Amino acid sequence: MKSIFTFATLLLATASALPISVSPSHRGPRALATRSNCSTQAVDASSETDTGGAGLNITNADSETRTYFVYENGCDTMPSKYISVDAGASKFISLPAQFQGRIVRGTTAVNLDGSAHTLGTWVEIGLDASGTGWADVSLIRGMDGAVTIAATDGTGATTGFSDNSVLNDATDSILEAKDSGAKAIKATEDWQAALLSNVVSYLSGKLGFTAAYVDDYHGNPVICSKNGRFGVTFYEGRP
């Protein structure tokens, strides 16, 4: 079973950078388990200042202002923070030490209502104890638009995809309404790990297995940034 975090743990065979305790963010039981120290109120980080630490420089390549939400593993009912970015603009959002979680498209009306909203494209981020960052795009919980990720440590590492025909060409048979009412491609696996082969076949036919996690069984589309910083571009999507 592969994910950003299981993949990173495998690297311990040759390096000791990552802690063994790092766990997959998109595994169903993990994602639904509630931690006792989850945020009870999300912080609006739209005016946050980049002080040079770990985090994401988010570019909104959509045609209107969008809001993006940061969720820590095990805290699916309330994001820790969120950021609104004008169309064509970029903003930085910091991440705490050893962060493990995701950032997703959404709306304040839905994502701040105290319920879990998991359907959509996940940008998965993990920071190890040394400050090294690991990132991937996961479609295992659904797909609501394209995303690319680039390491900003000078290595040039990139992952993700910008082709929104993946979403726009999808037929109704593989679409599902998000809690906002917008239509997204269904999750490829349900919480009981049942594989939705028709969705996997469609996504893999469009993307292969090297640009994003289409399921938890193929590929390792993970990149590393030694400074814990990434540039993330969200293309036109359905929040």
Does residue 143 or residue 21 have the better pLDDT? 143
**pLDDT, tens digit, for every residue of 52-71?**
999 999 999 999 999 999 99
Domain coordinates in residue numbering, the chain? 4-36+53-237
**Two structure tokens written together for 177:** 């309404």
> What is the model's pLDDT at position 30?
41
**HSE, side-chain direction, 13 A CA sphere, residue 175:** 15
Decide yes or no: CATH 2.60.110.10 for domain 4-36+53-237: yes
Residue 19 neighbours by CB distance under 10 Å:
14
Q: Which helix (H) or strand (E) holds 13?
A: none
Token pair 């797909």 is found at 143
Burial per residue of 152-181, b for 16 or more beta-carbon CB atoms within 10 angstroms, e otherwise: bbeeebebbbeebebbeebeeebbeebbbe
Q: What is the pTM of this model?
A: 0.88
